[in-house]
Structure 1
Amino acid sequence: MLQEYLRRIGLLLVGLLVSAIGITLMLQANIGLEPWSVLQQGIAKTFGITYGTAASIVGAAVIAIAYFCGESFGLGTLANIFVCPIFIDILLYLNWIPLFERFSTGLAALLIGMELLALGTWMYMKSTLGSGPRDALMVVLARKTHRTVGLCRAAVEVVIVFIGWRLGGQVGIGTIVAAVGVGSLFNLNFGLLRFNPALLHQENLPETLQRFRGRKTIT
């Protein structure tokens, strides 16, 4: 069992690192951020904290809302909230990915970042250790409002882009490209990889603890 969990945790961490590289590329593209990044950058600028710290705060708040609405979360969810932002802050500090000054190179960086984010998400979701906090929130909203996940996501993103913009987050053509393209790119990648996240059970934290206590066996 321990070897199986180490394999899954390794897949989770690699997925989060790939996602962090993708997000950093999108941040450094300098042509407008994807919706959640607009909010997180705005919070970072307003309160004088790092982008990663702002991302952790937003992620923790989102999963808290989802949890109190009845949605569970797992070890992977916590790693998504606290580990991925650390990776992003380290990458920004090291400055291995420069701030792009030209629109053409910025657009290329944005598109590559979106692709890496899709691949990273595939990896950490494949670990089945818990979905990301924003995914959990969308499921809760869809269940509570009896609307589609897509509609709930669109409504939420309009609100957070406005709030983030008012706080100083960067809004531009990249925001539109990411808002429209990320979902489609995820679907394309998942289709090519023959990966259907709806067929996977994402293990929540109580289940993980029970497995380590020997109450369940890994099948």
Structure 2
Amino acid sequence: MNSESLYYCKRVLIYCIGLFLLATGVSLSVLSNLGVSPLNTLPYVLSRITSAEMGLCTSLVFVGFIALQAVILRREFKMTTLLQILCSFLFGYFVSLASACTSCLPACGSYPHQLLYLIASMALVALGILFYLSADLLSLPGEGVMQAVSYKSGIAFSHSKICFDCTMVAGAILLSYIFFQRLEGVREGTAIAAVGVGGFLNLFTRLWKNKLVHFLDRRDEEEEDCSETAG
């Protein structure tokens, strides 16, 4: 295997690890019963309404996000964006797989136990984001919508993320009261995750970002070594 092929294999590997870590974090947030992260509130409520697996609902909601990008961008929508469908279903599969893996964990018997799962969830979500973004392959559709809104409106990406997260939570709350007459998936953990994931991400970025980049992009070093060996 040449250095170029190895380089792309490593990127795909890191990308998949990132998505699985992210999915495991989502599953733990559900297990904590303190509320899921803002981006996953709508898929969670839909899974409760339809009794379908959360992984499937996540995939379908993400496909809807791709359609939303097409509506926002119109003629500027790139057909390559449709490749996000692949990562939508891959991530949905990972959510189902992670849910099966975490189902063997003990149920929460106390509030500190719930907080422990929530903290672990935030850490895994942050680590997953760091991995999958470092691979620099396909972005998840939710992030794509935020980027499209930011591009067309001219507002900062951070602001579009806040608006998008609030819209997701508002939609989940509305559906919860329509179908259950109570909140589902939205609790104090949702607000904590909105802040906590960013904190963990900043920490992990400082600790491991450079190491990840170094691991992924060693083609030049390998080519130099080959040249020296050939010389």
TM over 0.5: yes
Per the TM alignment, residue 164 of structure 1 is displaced from its structure 2 partner at its CA by 0.9
Residue 55 of structure 2 contacts residue 96 of structure 2 at CA under 8 Å; is this kept in 1? yes
Residue 142 of structure 1 contacts residue 149 of structure 1 at CA under 8 Å; is this kept in 2? yes
**TM-score w.r.t. length of structure 1:** 0.79
Which 4+ residue blocks in structure 1 deviate beyond 4 angstroms?
71-76
Q: Do residues 80 (structure 1) and 83 (structure 2) align?
A: no
**TM-score w.r.t. length of structure 2:** 0.75
Q: How many residues align?
A: 195
Which one of 122, 125, 129 corresponds to residue 114 of structure 1? 122
**What does residue 134 of structure 2 align with?**
126
Q: Do residues 171 (structure 1) and 186 (structure 2) align?
A: yes
Q: Do residues 143 (structure 1) and 143 (structure 2) align?
A: no
Residue 19 of structure 2 contacts residue 132 of structure 2 at CA under 8 Å; is this kept in 1? yes
Sequence identity (%): 24
- What runs of 5+ residues in structure 1 fail to find an aligned partner? 196-219
Q: Alignment partner of 2:132: what SS?
A: helix
**What does residue 7 of structure 1 align with?**
10
Q: Do residues 25 (structure 1) and 28 (structure 2) align?
A: yes
Per the TM alignment, residue 4 of structure 1 is displaced from its structure 2 partner at its CA by 2.8
- AA aligned to 2:145 is L
**What does residue 207 of structure 2 align with?**
192
- AA aligned to 2:64 is A
Provide the alpha-carbon RMSD of the alignment. Answer: 2.2
**What does residue 45 of structure 2 align with?**
42
Q: Alignment partner of 1:11: what SS?
A: helix
Select the structure that is richer in helix: 2
- AA aligned to 1:132 is L
Per the TM alignment, residue 114 of structure 1 is displaced from its structure 2 partner at its CA by 1.1
Per the TM alignment, residue 123 of structure 1 is displaced from its structure 2 partner at its CA by 1.4
Distance 2:77 2:28 in 1: 31
Which one of 78, 91, 98 corresponds to residue 91 of structure 1? 98
Query: Which structure has the larger Rg?
Result: 2
Per the TM alignment, residue 64 of structure 1 is displaced from its structure 2 partner at its CA by 2.5
